[in-house]
Structure formats: structure tokens, C-alpha cells
Amino acid sequence: MNLPLNTEADIADPLAQARFNMVEQQIRPWHVSDPRILDLLAEVRREDFVPAEHAAQAFMDLEIPLPGGQCMLAPKVEARFLQDLQIQPHERVLEIGAGSGHMAALLSRLAASVVSVDIRPELVRMAQANLRKAGIANVQVLQADGAVGAISGGPFDVIVVSGSVARVPQNLLDQLKDGGRLEAVVGDEPMMRATVVRRTGSSFVVSEPWDIVVPRLEHFPEPSHFSF
């Protein structure tokens, strides 16, 4: 169900009202109409995953800095990823780029289980602590380099790349189950595209539903072409 946030209790909770405004003013206008996703963004406490020094920016339409030069993606980008991927309750998800743990928290509400990896130990610790405080038990956060090799627990139904890459490396495609989906932002500034890859047997079908520019993930290969 969609959330009507106009009760006295909602008005008395400025953070609940801020989440409602984020959904109505940023996410809905960005072509997100799936009720599951709209409800999820209004329910999950984004502010609990934002570094304290950036608390005032928690619901803004921008990327929030994280340690090591990384960032939380803007709320509308996370929402479009979730809508595009149509994650089902029985599915297992791999996230590349754990960040603060916020995207993993959203994924955990849609999927059976989530493995989230990051190469930076400080971000692994941050994501683990934030998810633990939020009481989320179906996410495993690992320190690993998603750009090379295979991640323990695969293959996966869904892979989410929480940042941009010049191209999708074969090692990630190899970890998709038959029927699985991967989404990443692919390309080079000033032109990047959200790219959805669907696996059917040994074949991959690619679509590019929307344009956006987001920061690079570390350690991923830099050739500017996208190929299989």
C-alpha cells in the first residue's frame, strides 16, 4: 500500500515527513511507480545510514560523501534500480559497493538474502554496523574486490553495481543465474547509462532504460566500450 502521511503523528515526526517529501518530490517524478518501491523508500530510515556530519543532507537529491572518497547514491537512483530489477522474495542478491549499507537494507526487504561487498574495510565496518543497528539479519557484508574473481555464495539471481563502471566485467556476468539480472551505470562522463543485463542460458540481453552520471567504483577496468 502507499503511505498517506498526513496524520497528526506523521506531522509530529519531522523525519517521517522528510521521507514522505523525498518520495513524493524526488522519486515519484523520476518515473518510479511501483508501490512496493515507494513504500520501501518511505519506510526504511535512510537517515540511519548517513554519516553524522552529513545528517542534514539525508533526504536531499544528491550523493552523500562516505569515507575513502565513495558515496551514497541519490535516493532516486536507488529507487530506479530497485524498480528496474523487479526483485522477488525468493531471490538472492549480490551488491558490489556496500557503501554505508543503505542499498543493502533496501534490497534486504525485497529479497531472500543479500551479499554486499566492498574493497574498503572502513566501509565494510560502517555497513555492518548500520545494518546491525537496523536489525537486518539477511545481509552479509564482506570485504572483497567485486571487479575480479567470484564472490562466495553465487551464482546470484540479481547483481546490483552501486556506482558506475566503464564496462561490465565478465566475472560479474559469470555469477548471474540463468534468468538473472544485473544493473550498473555504464559509460564515461558526460554520458553514462543505466544498463540492465538479463541472462538467458549463455546469452545476455542488454537494455539501457535511462541516463545518469554517478561516481566511479574503484578497481574496475577502464576501457570505454561495453562488450561480451
Domain edges within the chain: 62-211
Asked whether the predicted pLDDT for residue 215 surpasses 50, the reply is yes
Confidence (pTM) = 0.91
- Distances in whole angstroms, Cα of residue 39 to Cα of each of 21, 45, 79, 134: 13, 12, 11, 17
- Taking only the tens place, the pLDDT of each residue in 179-196 is 999 999 999 999 999 999
Look at residue 6 in the predicted model and tell me its pLDDT.
52
- Which H helix or E strand runs over 123? helix 121-133
* Percent of the chain whose predicted confidence (pLDDT) is above 90: 86
In sequence order, which residues have a C-beta less than 8 Å from that of residue 6 and are 6 or more positions away? Answer: none
Percent of the chain at pLDDT above 70? 91
Q: For residue 50, what is the enclosing H or E element?
A: none
Q: What is the tens place of the pLDDT at every residue in 15-62?
A: 999 999 999 999 999 999 999 999 999 999 999 999 999 999 999 999
pLDDT for position 220: 83
- Mean pLDDT value across residues 107-116: 98
Q: Would you report the helix, strand and coil content of the chain in percent, each value rounded to 5?
A: 35, 30, 40
Cβ contact 38:4 at 8 Å: no
Q: Do residues 136 and 158 make contact, with C-beta atoms less than 8 angstroms apart?
A: no
Instruction: Please list the residues that pair with 164 across neighbouring strands.
Output: 185, 216
Average pLDDT, integer, range 92-102 = 97
pLDDT above 80: residue 2: no
Q: What is the mean pLDDT of residues 209-220?
A: 92
Calculate mean pLDDT across residues 84-106: 98
Residue 219's pLDDT is what?
A: 79
Model pLDDT, residue 8: 47
Query: Over 60: is that where the pLDDT of 123 sits?
Result: yes
Place of cell 518511505: 42
Which CATH code fits 62-211? 3.40.50.150
Residues 84 and 209 sit within 8 Å (Cβ to Cβ): yes
DSSP classification of residue 201: T
